[in-house]
């Protein structure tokens, strides 16, 4: 007869090491995460777990580290189909002769659905459970995301220039809000308003964005201060730096995510800090496009909430968040000439709880705590490339790669397990990629 | 009856793509590499191969890119046992309170043999076939290298300070030259003289190094201009910048490899260029230790031969040359604000033919050409993280990771094949790492 004290639960994960992120800077040894349905209901010593819980699904990870699911705080998922299409080109050529004509010719709802699908597969196997998305045709993206089983915050893309998708600010907004109706009741998908950039969105449209954000309680997600040119153009047109302009429009707030933020002067930093806006750092993209290097250490000194994003695969060329985080940490050390800058503990927070906070989801995800949703990434450290190991947390940041990711749970569901996907047909995904490769090669 | 025109050979590798590096900047499609014994004897269209050659070992790589074996131009292999021991520490603490006391306590011939062995395993699976080694007890390193089947240029480590290994300049030199006798007839191992750094080696010892290098026709391999402090100290002690001092001693030549070279002024650049010395760029280590960022684009403009090194795993923390190369390319783009800087073609050359040239081995390795030794790395690009693919060469640099490495040949022998090693017992390697982990943890 079953012990009446013993609770039957969905899943127990017993791991050698758990980095829960909250409480701060601890690594639990020989502990278990107890999951029931979609939630974490307990975290206890493994030797005690059997006396309290029983399950049909008990995972024993003897050489593994479990972290909260990683959160990619900025991407254009569908651009996976443009991965490596136009490498080693100067920025102007890249945009004007490659990416924009490609988008004009090829970007349709099918493109976005299929491109997002393959990006989801890549992100999942890279340990990402949630991503912050911005691209055309959000409805198509949402279909792929639902299929993948991932969590996402979908940006309702807005600008004042016409595209295949919409004609002007009003049209983008209308289409975005209509698309949002399709996932409003989905447990895994939330929405943000995603004005493209200061140079492509007028004050009038930005005011509308703000109105909707307030009315619907949505976050906002925008490319800001990516290049020096952008700032010079704004000074010419508005006699204001973009961040100053956004601040005057009242847009900056804890709900605002300033993607890139490569060039910030003391005034910009003070504004972002005062308004409690988040910064999404995309170091690979910033280097690859020759934009420059954000000075993360100075952002930290201003107490700004910093997260990490891959950006789209046209400028990365990977959806590999851990790689971006490692680069961010290395760059910050190199720029400050101090190996203690942006340490492993803070790096892990940037990929998890900081991003959850930026997305307004830190009550639900971003750490391994009782009551949060079971979004978990497991790294198998029993590899010749990760041994010996003296400190699991610093090993995650400096020695591990996405190839160490062995299991990924999203919302209590084991979506990825050692090369196998629960909700995705990976051969079909590869076929999609190859089909588009063939089509797009005509443009080269 | 066999066609008398058809030659029987050891191995044929038919691949969708081959990046031979020489001739410059070409990617061959549907070609085959024909290997007999240890050499490449032909590179021909796959449709013609059967009419000329037959073999028992025919590999068909339908989704793969074959490159010359990658060459790691600077490492301290045995330091794999210190991987991640002292992350996030300021440089002074890292050296004085972690690395140097650790080395004093633990570094023995056994440590070097076992540490080198596990580094060889990691390098092989990362696509590296040759490495340029510098550490204590080179005899012990050579035993591990022979066991691994890799090619290496072993540095005969020299400095004026005592260590467990030797007492003074003369003692290091004597022991190094004696060790060299143990591998002089080995087909895969060559030697260099490896004075540690300008601040640890006197003029007298450097003159002896030069004498031996000339007499024995050896390359030289030295840390140079790694930090600003090093240059300031040299100005105080010698009233010369280190490179100026080395030049006056007559040491700089095409046989000299200047590792790091982070801080170079116009005069340093002119000297290195005039003397045709090579620079070994170690971008991860330079960032991780807070040393700074070498300006590779300026080195290129001076026509200097540039190679890539991982440095030891205590400051990287990976023996993942492709990762260092990707970082080098990204950094150079970021520093110059030009995405066309350090393109994929040049990056591939730095990891192969440039390094072969620095090691004095460019008549034997570094490209896929008739007559060269069969050192080859195969990348399987049939993964969701590498699809679609528009340009194989740029995909190698910007999208691929070492997880794509599927097969590695060294000197005509298939040493690594999808997780399996021909000459190494990987479980034994992991056990070694774990044993040292246990021992060294006592020091934490």
Tens digit of each residue's pLDDT (9 = 90 or more) over B372-414: 999 999 999 999 999 999 999 999 999 999 999 999 999 999 9
Co-location of B190 and B53 in the same domain: no
Does residue B299 form part of some domain? yes
Write out the two tokens for A444: 């080269």
Residues in chain A with CB shorter than 8 Å from the CB of B333 are 287-290
Distance from CA of A422 to the nearest CA of B (A): 16
Co-location of B127 and B18 in the same domain: no
Residues in chain A with CB shorter than 8 Å from the CB of B125 are 384-385
Does residue A429 form part of some domain? no
Write out the two tokens for A156: 């309702």
Does residue B1 form part of some domain? no
Nearest to B164 by CA among B244, B108, B217, B88: B108
Write out the two tokens for B267: 């005069």
pLDDT of B90: 83
Q: Which of B84, B320, B387 is opposite residue A433, by nearest beta carbon?
A: B387
Distance from CA of A406 to the nearest CA of B (A): 14
Distance from CA of B63 to the nearest CA of A (A): 11
A and B: number of Cβ contacts within 8 A = 206
CA B293/CA B306 separation, integer angstroms: 14
Q: Which residues 259-298 of A have a C-beta within 8 angstroms of B?
A: 284, 286-293
DSSP B291-318: -----HHHHHHTT-EEEE----GGGSS-
Co-location of A353 and A307 in the same domain: yes
Co-location of A297 and A236 in the same domain: yes
Co-location of A87 and A63 in the same domain: no
Res. B167: pLDDT tops 90: yes
Co-location of B167 and B24 in the same domain: no
pLDDT of B444: 66
Tens digit of each residue's pLDDT (9 = 90 or more) over A141-184: 999 999 999 999 999 999 999 999 999 999 999 999 999 999 99
> DSSP character for B64?
E
Does residue A432 form part of some domain? no
Does residue B2 form part of some domain? no
Distance from CA of A386 to the nearest CA of B (A): 8
Co-location of A64 and A82 in the same domain: no
Co-location of A117 and A88 in the same domain: yes
Co-location of A400 and A351 in the same domain: no
Co-location of A232 and A196 in the same domain: yes
Nearest to B124 by CA among B106, B142, B148, B91: B148
Cβ(A118)–Cβ(A319) under 8 Å?
no
CATH number of the CATH domain containing B246: 3.20.20.140
pLDDT of B1: 52
Does residue B421 form part of some domain? no
Does residue A423 form part of some domain? no
Confidence of residue A2 (pLDDT cuts 50, 70, 90): low
Co-location of A262 and A401 in the same domain: no
Beta bridge partners of B68: B376
CATH number of the CATH domain containing B404: 2.30.40.10
Is some CB atom of chain A closer than 8 A to the CB atom of B81?
Answer: yes
Task: Tell if the CB–CB gap between A330 and B88 is shorter than 8 Å.
Answer: no
CA A355/CA A365 separation, integer angstroms: 9
Res. B107: pLDDT tops 90: yes
Q: Which residues 84-143 of B have a C-beta within 8 angstroms of A?
A: 84-85, 87-91, 94, 118, 121-122, 125-126
Tens digit of each residue's pLDDT (9 = 90 or more) over B241-258: 999 999 999 999 999 999
Q: SS3 string of B20-61?
A: CCCCCCCCEEEEEEEEECCEEEEEEEHHHHHHHEEEEEEEEE
Write out the two tokens for A295: 């000075």
Number of domains in chain B: 2
CA A154/CA A174 separation, integer angstroms: 15
Residues in chain B with CB shorter than 8 Å from the CB of A336 are 290
Distance from CA of A424 to the nearest CA of B (A): 12
Spell out the alpha helix ranges (H) of A80-226.
Answer: 91-93, 100-106, 109-125, 138-148, 169-180, 203-216
Q: SS3 string of B251-281?
A: CCCCCEEEEECCCCCHHHHHHHHHCCCEEEE
Is some CB atom of chain A closer than 8 A to the CB atom of B327?
Answer: yes
Inter-CA distances, A343 with A330, A346, A370, B49, B172, Å: 9, 6, 26, 54, 37
Tens digit of each residue's pLDDT (9 = 90 or more) over A109-150: 999 999 999 999 999 999 999 999 999 999 999 999 999 999
Task: Tell if the CB–CB gap between B290 and A390 is shorter than 8 Å.
Answer: no
pLDDT of A443: 72
User: For residue A59, what are the domain limits?
Assistant: 7-68+376-410
Co-location of A156 and A34 in the same domain: no
Long-range contacts, A99-106 (Cβ 8 Å, 24+): A99/A314, A101/A443, A102/A440, A102/A443, A103/A136, A103/A163, A103/A164, A104/A163, A104/A164, A105/A443, A106/A81, A106/A439, A106/A440
Does residue B124 form part of some domain? yes
Tens digit of each residue's pLDDT (9 = 90 or more) over B13-48: 999 999 999 999 999 999 999 999 999 999 999 999
């Amino acid at each position: 007869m079953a012990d009446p004290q013993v609770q039957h639960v969905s899943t127990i994960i017993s791991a050698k090491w758990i980095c829960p992120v909250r409480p701060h800077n601890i690594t639990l040894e020989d502990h278990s995460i107890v999951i029931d349905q979609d939630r974490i209901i307990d975290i206890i010593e493994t030797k005690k777990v059997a006396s309290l819980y029983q399950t049909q699904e008990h995972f024993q990870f003897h050489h593994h580290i479990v972290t909260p699911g990683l959160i990619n705080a900025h991407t254009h998922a569908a651009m996976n189909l443009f991965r490596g299409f136009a490498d080693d080109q100067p920025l102007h050529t890249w945009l004007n002769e490659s990416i924009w004509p490609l988008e004009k010719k090829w970007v349709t709802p099918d493109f976005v659905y299929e491109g997002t699908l393959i990006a989801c597969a890549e992100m999942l196997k890279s340990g990402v459970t949630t991503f912050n998305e911005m691209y055309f045709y959000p409805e198509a993206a949402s279909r792929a995301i639902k299929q993948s089983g991932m969590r996402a915050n979908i940006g309702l893309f807005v600008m004042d220039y016409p595209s295949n998708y919409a004609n002007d600010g009003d049209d983008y907004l209308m289409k975005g809000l209509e698309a949002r109706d399709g996932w409003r009741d989905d447990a895994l998908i939330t929405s943000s308003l995603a004005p493209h950039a200061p140079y492509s969105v007028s004050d009038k449209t930005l005011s509308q964005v703000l109105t909707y954000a307030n009315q619907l309680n949505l976050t906002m997600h925008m490319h800001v201060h990516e290049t020096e040119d952008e700032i010079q153009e704004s000074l010419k047109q508005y006699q204001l730096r973009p961040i100053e302009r956004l601040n005057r429009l009242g847009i900056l707030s804890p709900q605002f995510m300033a993607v890139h933020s490569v060039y910030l002067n003391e005034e910009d930093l003070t504004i972002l800090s005062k308004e409690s806006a988040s910064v999404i750092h995309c170091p690979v993209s910033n280097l690859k496009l020759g934009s420059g290097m954000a000075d993360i250490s100075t952002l930290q000194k201003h107490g700004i909430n910093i997260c990490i994003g891959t950006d789209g695969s046209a400028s990365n060329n990977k959806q590999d968040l851990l790689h971006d985080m490692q680069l961010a940490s290395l760059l910050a050390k190199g720029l400050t000439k101090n190996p203690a800058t942006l340490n492993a503990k803070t790096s892990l927070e940037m990929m998890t709880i900081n991003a959850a906070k930026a997305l307004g989801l830190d009550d639900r995800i971003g750490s391994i705590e009782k009551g949060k949703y079971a979004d978990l990434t497991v790294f198998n450290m029993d590899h010749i490339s990760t041994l010996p190991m003296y400190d699991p947390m610093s090993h995650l940041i400096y020695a591990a790669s996405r190839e160490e990711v062995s299991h990924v749970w999203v919302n209590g569901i084991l979506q990825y397990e050692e090369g196998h996907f629960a909700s995705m047909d990976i051969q079909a995904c590869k076929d999609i990629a190859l089909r588009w490769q063939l089509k797009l090669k005509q443009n080269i």
